[in-house]
Chain A
C-alpha cells in the first residue's frame, strides 16, 4: 500500500472553496464513446457525456438501461466482474481512467461510490470509518478521530452515534447505515461521488434525510446520481442525462441542464419520459 498524502484540514477547506463560482464551467469527467459488454452482450453503447466540476448530474431512465453499469465504469469496478469488457475513453481530471496502467486504488480513492443498498461492513461504526483510512496510510489516531467526527457531522450522524461508536454498524437503521456509507466515502476526501439510487431502498422519511444530505454536498463534490425518482432528480440536479434501451442496448438519449431536460426536452422519448412524472 503506497502511503498517500494525509488528509489535513487545509485540504478539506481547499475542496470547500472549490465551488464553481460562476464563469465557464470546466468539464471534470469526460466520457467518450463508452460501451460496456457483459459476456459479449452490450449493456450500453456509445455514451458520450461530459460532466462539469462541482455539478450534480442525475442519470435517469427505465430499469435495465445500463445506469448502474455506467457508474461502475467510472471507478473501474467493472474490473471485478468476470466477462465484462469496456471500450471507449474516460478522463477524470486529465487522468485516463481506462488505461491499463492507471492506479485503480488511487482512482477509487478519488471517486467515492454509494450503493443502492446500504452496505456498511459488519464491523463497528468506528471501524467502518477507520479501516479504509488506515488502509490508505492514515495512521495518526488524532487525525483519524478528527476525520471521523468531521465526516459524521457532515452526514448529520454525529449526534445520533457519538455515544455508540463501538456498537455494530449493522444495528443502525437503514437510513443511518446509508449515511454512514456516505460518511465512509467522504472520509477519503473524494472529488467525485457516484450514487446509485441512494434513497430507493429507504423509507420515505430516511430517504428524505439522505436527499437533504446529498443536496448539502452540492458544489463540494462532482456528483453523479442515478435515480428513478424524477421529482427528486428535478429537485436536486443541475444537469440530467436520460438513458434508454434501444435495439437491446442502453443509449444516452439526451443530456443537458436539468431545466432544459425537464422543461424543454428536445427528444420525443425524453418528453414522454419526463411527462410521466406528472401522470
Chain B
C-alpha cells in the first residue's frame, strides 16, 4: 500500500503526512498503553480459580465466577430481545416504508436521537419502567431489557443500512421471477444484509458489555450467584467500577477483571468477524 502512495512533493504535503500519521500513531499508542497497562497488572491474577470462584471480602480476594454468569445472562437477555425486534424493525424501515413517508422519517429521527442518549438516562428509565412499573425489581431481567433498549437504536440503524446496501436489482430480478416478497426477503435480502447486522451487533454488544451506568439502577450489584433471571446480578463492568472506586485494596482484582472484560470483547468481535467472513460467505454462495 505504502509504495503506491507517491512521495510528498512539497512542505505542505509533508506536514499533512506527518499530521495524519501522527494522529493515527497517537490513537494506536493510547490504545496500546491502556491494553498494556491492563495486561501488565492483571495477567498474573487471572487463573481458572479466579474465573470460577465467588468473590470474597467485597471482591478483594476470590474470583468473579458469579459475576461472569450474571454478565452472560444480562447479555443473553439483551440479545434475545433486541435481535428479533431489531431485525424486524429494520426490515419494516428498509423494505416496507418509503424513504419519504412521515412514519419512516419520524422513526429514523427518533432512533438517531436515542442512539446518542447517555446511558444513565436509559438506566433511570429502566429503573422506573422495568423495575418499578413492571415490578421486575433489581434483576438480571430488568438489566437485560434496559440494555436491549439501549442497543436497539444502533442495531436497527445499521441493519437497515445493511438492507439498503443490497442492490435494487436483486429485488427487481426476484420479483420478475415471480418470487414473493417474503421469499425474497428471507432467502436473498436477509443474507445480503447480514454484514450490516453484524456491524450493529458488534457495536451494540460492545456498548452493552461495557455498560455500568444503565445497570447500576436496574440489575443492581449483588455479587452472589444468580438463581433466576429475577435475581439481582452484578455485571463485570460494575464489578470493576466497584473494586476500583469503593473498595480499597481491590486494584489487583479490578485489573484482572478488566482484562477478562477486554478479552471477552475481543473474543466477541473476533467471532462476529469470523462469522461475517466465513459463515456468511458459505451461506450465500453455497447454501
Q: What residues make up the interface of A, taking CB atoms closer than 8 Å to B?
A: 1, 75, 77, 79-80, 82-83, 104-109, 111-113, 115, 117, 119, 121-124, 127, 131-132, 135-136, 166, 168, 181, 184-185, 188
Contacts and interface: CB of A to CB of B under 8 A. Distances in A.
B99 to A, nearest CB: 8
Contacts of A105: 178-180
A122 to B, nearest CB: 5
Contacts of A135: 177-180, 183
Contact of B176 (A108, A131, A166, A168): A108
B178 A122 contact: no
**Most chain A CB inside 10 Å of its own CB: which residue of B173, B174, B177:** B177
Contact of B286 (A82, A109, A124): A124
Contacts of B179: 105, 132, 135
Contacts of A185: 176-177
Interface stretch (B57-65, B155-163, B164-172, B226-234): B164-172
Nearest to B166: A122
Contacts of A80: 171-172, 175
- The B interface is mostly helix, strand or loop, or mixed, namely helix
B172 A124 contact: no
Looking at B171, B172, B284, B285, which has the most chain A CB atoms within 10 Å of its CB?
B285
A166 B192 contact: no
Contact-size category for B: 20 to 34
Contacts of A1: 180, 183
Contacts of A132: 177-179
Given A124-B285, A131-B187, A119 B175 contact: no
B287 interface: yes
A106 B175 contact: no
Given A82-B98, A135-B183, A166-B286, A119 B170 contact: yes
B131 to A, nearest CB: 43
Contacts of B98: 82-83
A67 B275 CA distance: 43
B280 to A, nearest CB: 11
Nearest to A194: B176
Nearest to B168: A80
A123 B284 contact: yes
Given A119-B169, A121-B170, A108 B285 contact: no
A104 B285 CA distance: 29
28 contacts: A1-B183, A77-B175, A77-B176, A80-B171, A80-B175, A82-B98, A105-B178, A106-B178, A108-B175, A108-B176, A108-B177, A111-B176, A112-B176, A115-B169, A115-B176, A119-B169, A121-B174, A122-B192, A123-B284, A123-B285, A124-B286, A132-B178, A135-B178, A166-B286, A168-B285, A181-B173, A185-B176, A185-B177
B69 interface: no
Contacts of B83: none
Contacts of B188: 121
B95 to A, nearest CB: 11
B92 to A, nearest CB: 15
A122 B176 contact: no
Interface string B65-106: 000000000000000000000000000000000100000000
A184 to B, nearest CB: 7
Contacts of B175: 77, 79-80, 108
A167 to B, nearest CB: 8
Given A80-B172, A119-B170, A121-B170, A188 B177 contact: yes
- Which one of B173, B284, B285 has the greatest number of beta carbons of chain A within 10 Å? B173
A104 B175 CA distance: 9
Nearest to B191: A122
A107 B179 CA distance: 11
